[in-house]
Structure 1
Amino acid sequence: MKRKYISISLLTMVILSGCSLSPTLQVPSIELPNKPLTALHVNEKWWTSFNDETLNRLIEEALTHNDDIKLSALRILKAKQMYGLSDANLYPSLNATGTQSRQKTSEETYQNKRYNYTDYSLGLSLQYEIDFWGKLSNQAESNWSLYLASKMAYQTVTNTLINDVIQAYLNLASLEERIKILDESIENYRQSYTYRSQQHQAGTINELLATQALAQYNNANASKGVLLETKTTQQSALAILLGKSPKELFDGEKPLIDHLPSPVTIPQGISSDLLENRPDIQESLMNLHSKNALIGVERSAYFPSISLTGSYGQQSESSSNLFQPTANKWGFGPTFTLPIFDFGKINTKVELSKTDLQSALISYEQTVKKAYKEVYDALSKEALIQNRLLYHEDEIKAYQKMLSITTTRFENGAANWLEVLDSQKSLLNASLNHTTTKQTLLVSQVELFKALGGGWNQHQ
């Protein structure tokens, strides 16, 4: 009857175990503008929207070899291992034991005066903490949330890396386009200087006009030198992002980048629900769940801790008798621990966990607000730059026409050479500004992709 009572009691404790003391998590709702927005869908490989094979290849290379990606992947592995450890604590542990010892006892204890003896033992030991208050399950839940948060952090690192690679790529492509523009201008300036020098030698123009043509030629060459210096620095920055070694960095083949990709078409408006796909928001949310579960872990210390221990095996003074039925031994019993007075340690730990939760809540709200701001700013910026790019295109057409008119008028003696030089310089600056604005537009679109946590795909 006694054994039956004990069995029923243990079964009841096991059934009641897992009671969670963590509070119900109330995720704050962030009020966003009430504007009619068009739904967009996330496209995992959003960078392919630029239709640039070289860019696609470089990003794939970076995702495979970048050092930050490798470190982030290891953090995910560690978080998963931590969860596995906490999950294993929910189950009993069974260990095999074996000992051989030689001992000497006090001559004043045993009546048979057995001062020296040998002890042999083999057995199994069982330990199991009943998760009556949900301490172990809450710890496992916290670690699981941290594991999910680490996966979201990995995605943030990935998006940042992709953004950095594209930025470096656009810088190089823009430099290449500007160098090409300068090369064309330099060649025109060289031909112009040669022609004006011949005119000066023939006495048809004065030395000032020939010198001005030479100065313009030298100025364009100096500007090209600055761009070439910047290009070298950008190539090194891109190589680092691709995870190349120092040898590959300086001896390896440089990627072929010769033009900016075409901008993509941005749909009008975004869905506020799309912000939930941002990995940093998901990471903050998982951290909220982790901190909330830890409150339950700390609260469980207020209540008794109940563990079950048991052992079964053989023990004998002689190894030859170790497996005799009479050498059998066993033991079983619960361990009960209840805090009585700890100078407020448990209460302080609970309050600390609550403070951590409040910090996580504020961090979550801050992340959502920042996400919406980044998307709003990126959309506004993209629209403004689109208009600016159109103005630059019209500006180039106007300066091309102006240069044609002034050159014709100069040849007919109706204009001076300074007007031609001014038209050439204006056309050069307008062309360079157009390339820079196109790069800025592409950068704003990349920032929008990143702000949305991945981009969109209207055909999904």
Structure 2
Amino acid sequence: MKRNFINISLLTTLILSGCSLAPTLQVPTIEQPTKQESVLHVKEKWWEIFGDTTLNSLIEEALIHNDDLKLSALRILKAKQTYGLSDANLYPTLNATGSFSKQQTSGETYQKKENAYTEYSLGLSLQYEIDFWGKLSNQAESNWSLYLGSEMARQTVTNTLINDIIQAYLNLASLEERIKILNETIENYRQSYEFRSKQHQAGSINELLATQSLAQYNNASATKGVLLETKIAQQSALALLLGKSPKELFEGEKPLITHLPSPIVVPNGVSSDLLENRPDVQEALMSLKSKNALIGVERSAYFPSISLTGSYGQQSENSGNLFQSTATKWGFGPTFTLPIFDFGKINTKVEMSKTDLQSALISYEQTVKKAYKEVYDALSKQVLIQNRLSFNENEIKSYQKMLYITTTRFEDGAANWLEVLDSQKSLLNASLTHVTTKQTLLSSQAELFKALGGGWNQTLK
């Protein structure tokens, strides 16, 4: 008796726990980056490192109202619901049943007897597919991985949106700074032209010098017009990301954007955890796990599908006798289905799932390589752009000194007006270039944080 009890307990445990036919997943390891003394870490709200309150408020607003994020949230909900459905399949299904029927048999059958009868029934039915080969658990694991992958996909969309807002913001801030420089320059050119025009009318200078001043003024004004056209397009682009109209966003009492943020100092080192937790890398890994689990689902078709069914209830021709003890009926028993010959369908499905796994493995490796390339490129650009910005600042100082020297020499009669105009033009171009170079540096720093996948959901690790 004791031995039978032990055997039944072991069999019950084996049936309920089942086994998995999914292969052991071999995930390629992510190469460890070269260790550095100072290592970059990315916090969840990584854009706040730029220290611009206006930029912060725009991003926070976009994270609430952006349509792409709303669609991503619905995809996550659908994936979670799919997992919930597959998880529910692991448990028995209990249904209440009830019926009433009234029938008249034919007197023209072999029984040669015509009968009319009524039947009432109430009961419970139980259905439970034993997950002996891990089919249902593997399907649930696959759907769970897809759910986590949809979370990572949403984070990728979020980081892309944040980066797009930052880039649009930097474009507008750069345009504002360049327009401000041009406004000051145009005013100087206007005053210079009016002064030279009076000198020409007085006969102290020739007409050429006055015309050169006018041409310089017109050239700067035309350049400003181009920047204003670009500004309108950039305002529309930023407003679209925020789900607003340009009028609603920019026609306030005070200008929304006035200047570029200050560049930050970026350490050279990169923690390996950053790349492992990059959303697209995690999404590719979840896809890999999902495809691996599906192999177990398809392999389970080689073996019997075992189910337990049971029923219990009351049945009677008279509703008054429905709850009598003699009206009780019940049934219980296992059923199984075993494929014998299917012309290779199961084997083909297994091979197809293996092919899907290989494709997912290649996609994962491609995603990791892409992550390394983007981070490497973004880090490499930092030093080069920083040097370019430093050279540009020295260039501005040189042109400022050159303008002072040529102006002084012209007033002393030792230089012609063309030299002064060249110095002014060179200083203007260097000043405009300095703004665009600063914008390029900030843009590359934002791209670096995007490449590192900052702001991932720590709870999904």
TM-score class, shorter-chain normalisation, is over 0.9
Does structure 1 conserve the Cα–Cα contact (< 8 Å) formed by 2:310 and 2:333? yes
Give the residue type in structure 2 aligned to 1:100. F
Does structure 2 conserve the Cα–Cα contact (< 8 Å) formed by 1:308 and 1:334? yes
Matches within 5 A, 1:212-231: 212-231=212-231
> Is residue 63 of structure 2 the alignment partner of residue 63 of structure 1?
yes
Give the residue type in structure 2 aligned to 1:294. L
How far, CA to CA, are the matches of 2:97 and 2:23 in structure 1? 42
Does structure 1 conserve the Cα–Cα contact (< 8 Å) formed by 2:34 and 2:269? no
Does structure 2 conserve the Cα–Cα contact (< 8 Å) formed by 1:14 and 1:130? no
Question: How many residues were matched structurally?
Answer: 450
Give the residue type in structure 2 aligned to 1:216. Q
Equivalent position of 2:269 in the other structure: 269
Equivalent position of 1:82 in the other structure: 82
How far, CA to CA, are the matches of 2:138 and 2:83 in structure 1? 11
How far, CA to CA, are the matches of 1:37 and 1:277 in structure 2? 21
Cα gap change, 1:133 to 1:23, in 2 (>3 Å): same
User: Per-residue CA shift, 1:415-451, capped at 9, x if unaligned?
Assistant: 1111111011000000000000000000110111111
How far, CA to CA, are the matches of 1:251 and 1:453 in structure 2? 32
Equivalent position of 1:94 in the other structure: 94
Does structure 2 conserve the Cα–Cα contact (< 8 Å) formed by 1:37 and 1:271? no
Task: Report how far residue 109 of structure 1 moved.
Answer: 5.9
Task: Report how far residue 35 of structure 1 moved.
Answer: 5.8
Structure 1 range deviating more: 167-176 or 111-120? 111-120
How far, CA to CA, are the matches of 1:129 and 1:243 in structure 2? 49
Equivalent position of 1:382 in the other structure: 382
Give the residue type in structure 1 aligned to 2:205. I
> Is residue 396 of structure 2 the alignment partner of residue 409 of structure 1?
no
Give the residue type in structure 2 aligned to 1:188. N
Equivalent position of 2:195 in the other structure: 195
Task: Report how far residue 315 of structure 1 moved.
Answer: 1.4
User: Per-residue CA shift, 1:366-410, capped at 9, x if unaligned?
Assistant: 111111111110011111000000000000001011111111111
Let me know the Cα RMSD of the aligned residues: 2.1
User: Per-residue CA shift, 1:119-163, capped at 9, x if unaligned?
Assistant: 211111111000000000000000011111111111111111110
Cα gap change, 1:13 to 1:304, in 2 (>3 Å): farther
Equivalent position of 2:314 in the other structure: 314
SS state of the match for residue 128, structure 1? strand
Cα gap change, 1:265 to 1:138, in 2 (>3 Å): same
Equivalent position of 1:180 in the other structure: 180
Equivalent position of 1:370 in the other structure: 370
SS state of the match for residue 281, structure 2? helix
Give the residue type in structure 1 aligned to 2:207. E
Give the residue type in structure 1 aligned to 2:181. I
User: Per-residue CA shift, 1:70-105, capped at 9, x if unaligned?
Assistant: 111111111111110000000001111111122222
How far, CA to CA, are the matches of 1:213 and 1:18 in structure 2? 89
How far, CA to CA, are the matches of 2:431 and 2:76 in structure 1? 47
Does structure 1 conserve the Cα–Cα contact (< 8 Å) formed by 2:40 and 2:266? no
Task: Report how far residue 106 of structure 1 moved.
Answer: 3.0
User: Per-residue CA shift, 1:328-362, capped at 9, x if unaligned?
Assistant: 11111111100000000000000000001001111
How far, CA to CA, are the matches of 1:32 and 1:373 in structure 2? 14
Equivalent position of 2:361 in the other structure: 361
Give the residue type in structure 2 aligned to 1:438. K
Structure 1 range deviating more: 227-236 or 27-36? 27-36
How far, CA to CA, are the matches of 1:389 and 1:154 in structure 2? 36
Give unpaired runs (5+ residues) of structure 1: none
Cα gap change, 1:157 to 1:404, in 2 (>3 Å): same
Does structure 2 conserve the Cα–Cα contact (< 8 Å) formed by 1:303 and 1:338? yes
Give the residue type in structure 2 aligned to 1:302. Y
TM-score under structure 2 normalisation? 0.93
Equivalent position of 1:28 in the other structure: 28
How far, CA to CA, are the matches of 1:379 and 1:172 in structure 2? 25
How far, CA to CA, are the matches of 1:417 and 1:122 in structure 2? 108
How far, CA to CA, are the matches of 1:438 and 1:271 in structure 2? 27
How far, CA to CA, are the matches of 1:204 and 1:356 in structure 2? 85
Equivalent position of 2:237 in the other structure: 237
Task: Report how far residue 20 of structure 1 moved.
Answer: 0.3
How far, CA to CA, are the matches of 1:59 and 1:274 in structure 2? 22
Give the residue type in structure 2 aligned to 1:129. E
How far, CA to CA, are the matches of 2:77 and 2:139 in structure 1? 18
Task: Report how far residue 17 of structure 1 moved.
Answer: 4.0
Task: Report how far residue 211 of structure 1 moved.
Answer: 1.0
Equivalent position of 2:437 in the other structure: 437
Give the residue type in structure 2 aligned to 1:434. H
SS state of the match for residue 75, structure 1? helix
Task: Report how far residue 277 of structure 1 moved.
Answer: 1.8
Does structure 2 conserve the Cα–Cα contact (< 8 Å) formed by 1:448 and 1:455? no
Task: Report how far residue 318 of structure 1 moved.
Answer: 2.1
Give the residue type in structure 1 aligned to 2:299. R
Cα gap change, 1:90 to 1:284, in 2 (>3 Å): same
How far, CA to CA, are the matches of 2:69 and 2:414 in structure 1? 65
